[in-house]
Structure 1
Amino acid sequence: MSTPPRHRGAIVRAAATLFRRNGYAATGINEIAEVSGAPKGSLYHYFPDGKDQIAEAAVRFAGAGVVATLEKLEQEHHTAAAMIRAYCRLLAGWMAKSGFRDGCPIATTLLESAPQSANMATAGREAFAGWCAVIARALVRDGFGKAEARRLATLAVSAIEGALILARVERNAAPIDDVAKSLVSALQIKRLRRKRAAAYEK
C-alpha cells in the first residue's frame, strides 16, 4: 500500500513551523511526525535522507510561500514602497500573534544548517533570490533601472531579515515598523529624485 501523498505536505508544513519556532537542532524527527499527524514511516518514505532532506523541503516551501505573499501584495499596491509597507505590517502581525516565538520562515533553519549542507545553502539562496526578484520587479515598474532595483531589493530583504531578529529578541514589533518606515521613505525619495531628473532632461 502506498503512503498517502497528503502526508508529505503535512510533514513539510509541520517541519517549517517547528524549524521557524524552535530552530533546526532543537527539532527532532519524532516531533515533526507528531505535529504533522503522519506516521513516522511516512517521513522516511518521502525523505529517506532524514532531517536534512525535510529541512530543505521546508525551506523551499516557506520560500515559495513568501514569494506568493509578495506577488499578491505587488498586485494590490501601485508602488514597491507600498508593497513593502504592507508586507512589513503582515510580518509584524504574524510575529505578535505568535508571541514573538516565530522567526523568519527560513533564516532560523539556514543559520544552523546551511554551512554544513550544500543543498540547504542552495535552497536558501533560491528562496532569497525569489523574494528579491519580486521586489526588484516592483521597483522596475516604479521606474528604477534593473541593476539599481536589484541592489535596493537586496537591501530591503536584508533590512527586513535583521528587523525580524531584533523583533524576536525584543519581543516587540517596533524594529519591523522602523525598518518599514525607513525603507518606504528612502524609496519614495529616490523615486521622486528620478522623476525630477527625468523632467529636467526633457
Structure 2
Amino acid sequence: MKKKPASEARPAAKDPGQTFGTRERIVRSASRLMQRQGYDGTGIKQIAQEAEATLGSVYHFFPGGKQELAVAAIAHANGEFVADLKAVLDGEPDPARAVTAFSKHLAEELRASDWTAGCPITTTALGAAGRLPDVQVAASEAFARQRELVSAKLSDSGFGAEEARELAHMVINTLEGAEIAAQVARSDDPLEIAGRHLARMITAHRA
C-alpha cells in the first residue's frame, strides 16, 4: 500500500467543508507532522508549508518557536483523543466493553492512516520531554486527562476511588504501549489483544 503524505493520512477536520484560521491551521499541521515525525524530525518551515502559512505568521502566533507550538499541538491532539475516548465511554455502559471498543477504535484509526498516525502525544514528547520542560508538562497533563475519564467511568460503575485510579493508569498505559506495537507490526493484533485482556482485568476486579 502506498504511504500517504502526512497531510492526507488523516483529514485536518472531521467536517470536510470546515475552514480554519491561520493559527488553527498551524496548530493542526504541527500536530499531524509531529505525530508522524516527532518533535526533532519536524521543522518550523515544514509546518508553515503544511499549514499554507508564512514563517512570519508562525512566529507571530508562537513567539516561543517550536517548543511553544509543540505544547499547543499536544493540547490539540489530546483534545481530539479525549473527545473520541469520551464518546466511546459514554456510549457503552459496561466499562470493560467500553475499553474493548476503544481499543478497536484505535486500531481502526491506525489502519486507516496506513499505520502512520500513532499516539500524537508520545511521538511528540519522546526525545524532547527530557530537555524541554514545557513539552513534558503538556504531555503529562494530556495523559492525566485521559486517565481522569477512564477513572470516572470506573467510579460510576461502582469501583472505589483508589482502585478506579490505578485501573485507569493500567488502561491508558497498556493502550499506549499496544498502539506503538501495532504501529511497528502494522497489525491490529496488539491493540485488540490489549483490549480483551484489559476487559477481563476490569471484570475480574469488579467481581
| TM-score strictly above 0.5 | yes
Q: Say if 2:29 and 2:47, in contact at 8 Å, map to a contact too.
A: yes
Query: Which residue of structure 1 aligns with residue 71 of structure 2?
Result: 56
Instruction: Please state if 1:154 is matched with 2:169.
Output: yes
Match of 2:36 among 21, 25, 28: 21
Instruction: Please state if 1:107 is matched with 2:114.
Output: no
CA RMSD of aligned residues (A): 1.2
Tell me which amino acid in the other structure corresponds to 2:49.
E
Query: Which residue of structure 2 aligns with residue 142 of structure 1?
Result: 157
**Contiguous gaps of at least 5 residues in structure 1:** 194-202
Query: Which residue of structure 1 aligns with residue 5 of structure 2?
Result: none
**Displacement of 1:60:** 1.0
Query: Which residue of structure 2 aligns with residue 188 of structure 1?
Result: 203
User: Using the alignment, how far apart are the partners of 2:193 and 2:62 within structure 1?
Assistant: 40
User: Using the alignment, how far apart are the partners of 1:90 and 1:118 within structure 2?
Assistant: 31
Aligned positions, number: 188
Calculate the TM-score normalised by the size of structure 2. Answer: 0.87
**Displacement of 1:121:** 1.1
Instruction: Please state if 1:42 is matched with 2:67.
Output: no
**Displacement of 1:102:** 1.8
Calculate the TM-score normalised by the size of structure 1. Answer: 0.90
Task: Mark the structure with the bigger radius of gyration.
Answer: 1
Instruction: Please state if 1:122 is matched with 2:137.
Output: yes
Q: Deviations over 1:166-199 (max 9, x none)?
A: 11111111100110010011111222x2xxxxxx
Query: Which residue of structure 2 aligns with residue 74 of structure 1?
Result: 89
Query: Which residue of structure 1 aligns with residue 12 of structure 2?
Result: none
User: Using the alignment, how far apart are the partners of 1:80 and 1:42 within structure 2?
Assistant: 44
Tell me which amino acid in the other structure corresponds to 2:184.
V
Q: Say if 1:24 and 1:108, in contact at 8 Å, map to a contact too.
A: yes
User: Using the alignment, how far apart are the partners of 2:98 and 2:28 within structure 1?
Assistant: 26
Percent of aligned pairs with the same amino acid: 36
User: Using the alignment, how far apart are the partners of 1:166 and 1:101 within structure 2?
Assistant: 12
Instruction: Please state if 1:166 is matched with 2:181.
Output: yes
Q: Say if 1:12 and 1:57, in contact at 8 Å, map to a contact too.
A: yes
User: Using the alignment, how far apart are the partners of 1:26 and 1:122 within structure 2?
Assistant: 20
Instruction: Please state if 1:31 is matched with 2:50.
Output: no
User: Using the alignment, how far apart are the partners of 1:139 and 1:167 within structure 2?
Assistant: 26
Query: Which residue of structure 2 aligns with residue 65 of structure 1?
Result: 80
SS in 1 for 2:97: helix
Query: Which residue of structure 2 aligns with residue 200 of structure 1?
Result: none
SS in 2 for 1:112: coil
Q: Deviations over 1:111-144 (max 9, x none)?
A: 1211111111111111000000000000011110
SS in 2 for 1:114: coil
Runs of 4+ in 1 over 6 A off after TM superposition: none
**Displacement of 1:159:** 0.4
